[in-house]
Structure 1
Amino acid sequence: MKYVKRILLLLLVVIAIVVYLNYSKLNIISGYASKYMASATYLAERDSSSIVNNDLKMPLVELAEVSLDSKNSSASASVYGLMNRKAIDRQGLGSVLVDSDYDENENYLQPKRDFNKIEKPYPFGHLEAKDTLLPEVNYDQLNKAIALAFSNPEVQKTRTVAVLHKGYLLGERYSEGFTKDTRVLGWSMTKSILATCYGVLEHQGKLKMDWPAPIPEWKNDDRSQITLNHLLRMQSGLEWEEDYSKISDVTRMLFLEDDMTVAQKEKEPVAKPTEIWNYSSGTTNLLSGILRQQFRSHQEYLDFPYQNLIDKIGMHSMILEADVKGNYVGSSYAWATTRDWARFGQLYLDKGVWNGKQVFDSSWVDYITEVTQDSDGTYGAHFWLNAEGIYPDVPRDLFSCNGFQGQHVFIIPSKELVVVRTGLAERPDFDVNGFLSEVIKSLE
């Protein structure tokens, strides 16, 4: 009995030390766990035990105890009973972290959607994909390449893969618990969706990338020189810390702020525009706030991405989550099926043309794939690049949407190829270069 008591005492001491060292992080930990649980349950319709045992099995996050209230479409989490956080699901806007002051009975606006089915085969419509055998494709090699992405599940943690070539679905595969109808969180792939809204507005003649950012607080200081282009290229020169391992600018914004468009706006410059490249989720959410300024009403802002991009190309599964103030969290929170993420890649492969209609100018693709200074050839304008061969065995014209834990939409124009891969691991655990090079071999 004494031995058991000593073990329990030691365990309590260990727990106390862990809590003491991480107490300031508990708000973030329980915030992350409750928010992710709510979204993955109510948007992705996934099994809660799978979410806990896989998605939330992360350092510190796994300390959270999570519960669901399906009647009220909410999830709650705490760490050893401390720092309880709650996230609720809102129709059309996804899940959001709330506090005790939030009125869950208050009416809120939601985007107006057009879910009309397009009578064409996937990816250009909602009919079944054509079962077409292209003569230039080695399907045995393709199947081998797709299988490679799932060959070591404990390390690679791949969940879904889809491959499009010349507008045809060549192959796809899903791990247990995922199907072609399962929404997947894109994390920072959402940045590319938000940026594309700017491409659409430019195409419509409503703004230009060299316009100064319309921030009244910046008019009388050095920040007045920051343009939309600087923001899209992460070249504003504003201070920002993008570190998810601690309490930083990005974790405070995502898990503590009601209005996520403000965090970057309030930062001071540490360099002049274009002098440094600094990746910032705060910048993207600032751009979401600027996007909202372009419309006369909140409803118009909520409708715009869907009416002019998402539903227009049939990405009906996509949900852009919003913060408490109704701003789209463009940095991180878009959910869509793997097939719909692939549609987005196809739109870029086709230079903005969808079923004969120009969604954005073809020159927009040139713009977002132009290398941004000081990014070492890895970044354009809210898209990632392979200009300097970070993937050495893959064509240099590759550009992509990338997200936390290895979410990817790869577009390779020279191969007329779109590849989507989602999962819970990224480089080096998931070998992007090896996977893509094997897919490309199937076309050679």
Structure 2
Amino acid sequence: MKNLKRILLLIAVILIVAVIYNYPKLNILAGYSAKNTASSVFLANRTLEFTDNNDNDFSPINLTTDKIDTEEKSAIGSAFGLLKRKAVYRKGLGAVLITNDYDTSKKPLVPFRSKPDNITPFPYGNAEQIDTVFSNVDYKKLNETIDTIFNDRNKTRSVVVLYKDKIIAEKYDDGFTKESLQIGWSMTKSITSTMFGILRCQGKIDVQTDNLFEEWENDERKNITLHNLLQMNSGLEWTEDYNSISDVTKMLFLQKDMTKTQIDKPLIGKPNETWNYSSGTTNLLSGILRSKFNTHQEYLDFWYNALIDKIGMNSMVIETDMSGNYVGSSYAWATARDWAKLGLLYLHNGEWNGENIFDKDWVDYATTPTPTSDGWYGAQIWLNAGSRYPDVPKNMYSFNGYKGQNVFILPSEDLVVVRTGLTKNADMNTLLKGIINSIKNN
């Protein structure tokens, strides 16, 4: 009996040590599950069953369990019943992962949204586009090309192809339609960058501005410029690893104010000489944007009235953190068609239906390769200058996100291609090559 008690005590001690050791992991697992569930169910209007069987059905997130409260519009993620996290939905702001001291009774500020134009045809409105058939497009070949990435391996959810401002192909996976909201993940970074492009066009910022934070005044970080942050070439320490407890997972699932996460990081390289992909940097930029406005309401409204609603991306919602700041690195949701509108705006060098949202100089700047990025990266925009996609023109650039969210802009082909999904397995080089080859006389 004594031996049995000792064995049970030893097992209990091992379990306690294991829980303590793995607590941060459990915290992030439960946090991801709760946040993703709340967004999927209450923002994207999917069912809990669909969310668990699809969006949360990957290791190790599939080890968690989720519950929702439809009256409160909240979700709770549980990691083996040992640790629970809660996320709540706020209309106009999306879902947010909260801590125990978050006051859910306090009504947050929400952005003012303009009324959607459901009369003007796509792309300048939300009504169906005027039918156009291009004689130089091989529609059979085009659709066969798109069909190749819709399967269980690729888990593609949508593809939209725009040629000369018209949708020439559009396909959705089962359970998705043109009305379905889809998370852009890091495609959101390109929206954050675009906000700086708009301010630059308005003469309100200089990207060469340095000495950006009080915390950096007395060390070499004072030399970091806005330009360096936009190009993710600041030299600041950051680890972007979604498969471990890293800077990015701690920021997204533990921090109340994500705009401050990287401020305290030291320099481990030299500005303009040390490219390092960092979601923390993008949220620093979101915080800098906040500092450009006198009130928080002005900051919230600016993203919509200067860009999102301005070009009719009326489905889009950018979620905020607990402090009310836009999570500019990761949390924009929109339909595939609205994601395509952002690509079309860039294809037209910032001009939208006769109005300049930003200018061509910004597009040139944003698509200039960052030093030490091997031609892969500009100002929060991915590039093909280094021939990452060998069968696609080098002047192509794209907004890219986790698990294979993409908006490709091909200026020389007059094309915008949107692909959303759950994996990065799809061969996008072959897809883009096939789309280009389906259009004759280029």
Give the TM-score, by structure 2 length: 0.94
Q: Contact 1:313/1:354 (CA < 8 Å) preserved in 2?
A: yes
- Matches of 1:388 and 1:314, distance apart in 2: 33
Shift of 1:116: 3.5
- Matches of 2:376 and 2:174, distance apart in 1: 33
Match of 1:63 in 2: 63
Amino acid at match of 1:197: M
Match of 1:437 in 2: 433
**What is the DSSP-based 3-state SS (H/G/I as helix, E as strand, rest coil) of the residue aligned with 2:258?**
coil
Within 5 A, what are the aligned runs for 1:315-354? 315-354=313-352
Q: Contact 2:403/2:423 (CA < 8 Å) preserved in 1?
A: yes
- Matches of 1:60 and 1:225, distance apart in 2: 41
Q: Contact 1:212/1:227 (CA < 8 Å) preserved in 2?
A: yes
- Matches of 2:343 and 2:211, distance apart in 1: 28
Q: Contact 1:118/1:314 (CA < 8 Å) preserved in 2?
A: no
- Matches of 2:285 and 2:189, distance apart in 1: 10
Shift of 1:214: 2.5
Within 5 A, what are the aligned runs for 1:37-52? 37-52=37-52
Match of 1:424 in 2: 422
**What is the DSSP-based 3-state SS (H/G/I as helix, E as strand, rest coil) of the residue aligned with 2:281?**
helix
Residue deviations 1:296-322 (CA, integer Å, cap 9, x gap): 000000000100000000000000100
Amino acid at match of 1:174: Y
Within 5 A, what are the aligned runs for 1:190-205? 190-205=188-203
Shift of 1:82: 1.4
Matched, 1:138 2:138: yes
CA RMSD of aligned residues (A): 1.7
Match of 2:405 in 1: 407
**What is the DSSP-based 3-state SS (H/G/I as helix, E as strand, rest coil) of the residue aligned with 1:156?**
coil
Shift of 1:126: 1.7
Change (3 A) 1:435 1:20: farther
- Matches of 2:342 and 2:33, distance apart in 1: 28
Shift of 1:22: 3.9
- Equivalences, count: 429
- Matches of 1:16 and 1:183, distance apart in 2: 41
**What is the DSSP-based 3-state SS (H/G/I as helix, E as strand, rest coil) of the residue aligned with 1:144?**
helix
**What is the DSSP-based 3-state SS (H/G/I as helix, E as strand, rest coil) of the residue aligned with 1:55?**
coil
Match of 2:5 in 1: none
- Matches of 1:126 and 1:58, distance apart in 2: 34
Shift of 1:125: 1.3
Q: Contact 2:318/2:326 (CA < 8 Å) preserved in 1?
A: yes
Amino acid at match of 1:267: K
Q: 2:208 aligns with which of 202, 210, 213?
A: 210
- Matches of 2:53 and 2:18, distance apart in 1: 21
Change (3 A) 1:286 1:213: farther
Q: Contact 2:116/2:126 (CA < 8 Å) preserved in 1?
A: no
Match of 2:279 in 1: 281
**What is the DSSP-based 3-state SS (H/G/I as helix, E as strand, rest coil) of the residue aligned with 1:122?**
coil
Q: Which moved more, 1:133-142 or 1:286-295?
A: 133-142
- Matches of 1:48 and 1:441, distance apart in 2: 41
Shift of 1:118: 6.0
Change (3 A) 1:227 1:118: farther
Q: Contact 1:118/1:124 (CA < 8 Å) preserved in 2?
A: no
Shift of 1:18: 8.4
- Matches of 1:126 and 1:397, distance apart in 2: 29
Matched, 1:101 2:97: no
Q: Which moved more, 1:114-123 or 1:340-349?
A: 114-123
Residue deviations 1:346-390 (CA, integer Å, cap 9, x gap): 000000000100000111110111011111111011000111111
**What is the DSSP-based 3-state SS (H/G/I as helix, E as strand, rest coil) of the residue aligned with 1:421?**
strand
Q: Contact 1:213/1:228 (CA < 8 Å) preserved in 2?
A: no
Within 5 A, what are the aligned runs for 1:59-138? 59-117=59-117, 119-138=119-138
Shift of 1:21: 6.8
**Which segments of 5 or more consecutive residues in structure 1 lack a partner in the other structure?**
1-11
- Matches of 1:50 and 1:348, distance apart in 2: 34
Amino acid at match of 1:283: T
Q: Contact 2:212/2:224 (CA < 8 Å) preserved in 1?
A: no
Match of 2:3 in 1: none
**What is the DSSP-based 3-state SS (H/G/I as helix, E as strand, rest coil) of the residue aligned with 2:29?**
helix
Give the TM-score, by structure 1 length: 0.94
Q: Contact 2:374/2:386 (CA < 8 Å) preserved in 1?
A: yes
Change (3 A) 1:64 1:16: farther
- Matches of 2:147 and 2:232, distance apart in 1: 36
Shift of 1:15: 9.9
Shift of 1:275: 1.7
Q: Contact 2:256/2:321 (CA < 8 Å) preserved in 1?
A: yes
Residue deviations 1:245-304 (CA, integer Å, cap 9, x gap): 111110000000000011111101011201210000000000000000000000000000
Matched, 1:35 2:31: no
**What is the DSSP-based 3-state SS (H/G/I as helix, E as strand, rest coil) of the residue aligned with 1:117?**
coil
Deviation >2 Å, runs of 4+: 14-24
Q: 2:355 aligns with which of 354, 357, 380?
A: 357
Q: Contact 1:264/1:282 (CA < 8 Å) preserved in 2?
A: yes
Residue deviations 1:192-240 (CA, integer Å, cap 9, x gap): 0010000000111100111115311112211111111000000110000
Q: Contact 2:239/2:248 (CA < 8 Å) preserved in 1?
A: yes
**What is the DSSP-based 3-state SS (H/G/I as helix, E as strand, rest coil) of the residue aligned with 1:348?**
helix
Shift of 1:110: 0.4
Percent sequence identity is: 52
Within 5 A, what are the aligned runs for 1:230-249? 230-249=228-247
Amino acid at match of 2:351: V
Shift of 1:105: 0.7
Residue deviations 1:71-128 (CA, integer Å, cap 9, x gap): 0000001111112000000111110011221111112100001023164311121221
Match of 2:292 in 1: 294
